[in-house]
């Protein structure tokens, strides 16, 4: 069964970037600390990253995040979604207008201009096709940014929420939660390392 999993790193005070994020400063001032765990040598951090990327049949991201990862300072062979961990899943971008051109032309990009629910539907189709091809269950991973994850939660589109709670207080930035729809979460796992607490919840 294909699940929709929102997976994002967040500070103790609830921010998914530091102040002043932008194409040249993707995670904002001090925001790099949110992803320290992803580059850690801790075996548990490596396991969390490996399992998260391995289950990805398709990945959804918003246009702002796409502009960051496809920008000059964005992803490369060493840094990117699951770099060095797994193959490359399909990427689905929610946007009002597809970009042209795309720097990361070696990745499988689909641009959906009709809203987040349609993007989720497209990503689910891609993940189900990948599941059929691979012979194992794969999921849709909603990687961000914060507004996209928050909107998906508000719209009831998320089955599982995975938070990588980083031990940093950013003070300002892009908040994950902005007072949207009330949701009940059921905690399914918690793994603590020196760089993060990895929390997994089912969304009711």
CATH number for 4-203: choose from 3.40.640.10, 1.10.287.3510, 3.40.430.10, 3.30.565.10.
Answer: 3.40.430.10
Ranges of the chain whose pLDDT falls below 50: none
pLDDT at 92 (0 to 100):
98
For 147-171, the pLDDT digits (tens) are 999 999 999 999 999 999 999 999 9
pLDDT at 91 (0 to 100):
96
Residues contacting 150, CB < 8 A, separation 6+: 175, 176, 177, 178, 180
pLDDT at 84 (0 to 100):
58
Nearest to 108 by CA among 119, 93, 121, 94: 93
pLDDT at 100 (0 to 100):
85
């Amino acid at each position: 069964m294909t699940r929709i999993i929102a997976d994002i790193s967040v500070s103790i005070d609830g921010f998914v970037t530091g102040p002043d994020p932008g194409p040249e400063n993707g995670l904002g001032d001090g925001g790099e600390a949110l992803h320290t765990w992803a580059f850690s040598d801790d075996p548990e951090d490596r396991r969390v990253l490996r399992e998260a990327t391995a289950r990805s049949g398709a990945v959804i991201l918003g246009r702002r995040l796409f502009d960051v990862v496809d920008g000059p300072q964005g992803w490369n062979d060493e840094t990117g979604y699951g770099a060095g961990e797994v193959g490359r899943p399909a990427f689905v971008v929610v946007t009002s207008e597809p970009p042209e051109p795309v720097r990361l032309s070696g990745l499988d990009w689909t641009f959906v201009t009709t809203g987040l629910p349609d993007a989720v539907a497209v990503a689910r189709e891609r993940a189900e096709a990948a599941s059929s091809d691979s012979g194992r269950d794969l999921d849709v991973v909603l990687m961000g940014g914060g507004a996209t994850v928050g909107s998906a939660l508000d719209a009831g589109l998320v089955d599982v929420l995975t938070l990588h709670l980083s031990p940093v207080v950013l003070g300002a930035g892009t908040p994950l939660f902005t007072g949207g729809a009330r949701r009940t979460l059921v905690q399914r796992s918690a793994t603590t390392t020196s760089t993060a607490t990895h929390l997994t919840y089912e969304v009711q």
